Amino acid sequence: YPQVKVWDLPGIGTPNFKADEYLQKVEFQRYDFFIIIASERFKVSSLKLATEIQGMKRFYFVRSKIDSDLDAEKRKKGFDKDKTLSLIRQDCIKGLQESGVPSPAVFLISSFNLQLYDFPQLEETMERELPKHNDEAIADRCIKSQLLTSSCKLI
């Protein structure tokens, strides 16, 4: 994807990137969309970040290390892979919705094999949505640019 640059931002809630100043420190406005990656149960900081972003930018929520979760569950009696995946997905969706994200896009990803679980769907979703999003971002920038030019002419 030649028009897409991926930036790996520091985790929210770390000593140098406290949640209440995170968006300012990472220069939030520079980015067109976000992929929030969580490797375990929800942390308040991830939910806060999703809530802050969702009103202004598109984001995708990725729950990684699904392999580890499945391995841990396999040890329990009555293990059901599909049920476990569904429970993890529902937990993510519920947490995001309770934080004010109405229709969260949640993807479950393997740490070892990208063809397992939801990585192909994440790719398809981004391929489908990013051109549309890019057109909207370009239009938004053009409008802002025109407003700035108009403002300069009025002064």
Bridge partners, residue 127, by sequence: none
CATH number of the structural domain spanning residue 38: 3.40.50.300
Which has more confidence, 18 or 151?
A: 18
Distance CA 106, CA 121 (A): 10
Supply the pLDDT for residue 117.
94
83 within a domain of the structure (yes/no): yes
Mean pLDDT score of the chain, rounded to an integer? 79
Looking at the structure of the chain, the number of domains it has is 1
2 within a domain of the structure (yes/no): no
What residues contact 73, with CB distance under 8 A and at least 6 apart?
79, 84
**Predicted TM-score (pTM) of this structure:** 0.76
Task: Kindly state the tokens that stand for 151.
Answer: 């403002």
Give the tens place of pLDDT for each residue, 51-71. 888 878 888 999 999 999 999
**pLDDT over 50 (residue 11):** yes
Average pLDDT, stretch 105-126?
A: 91
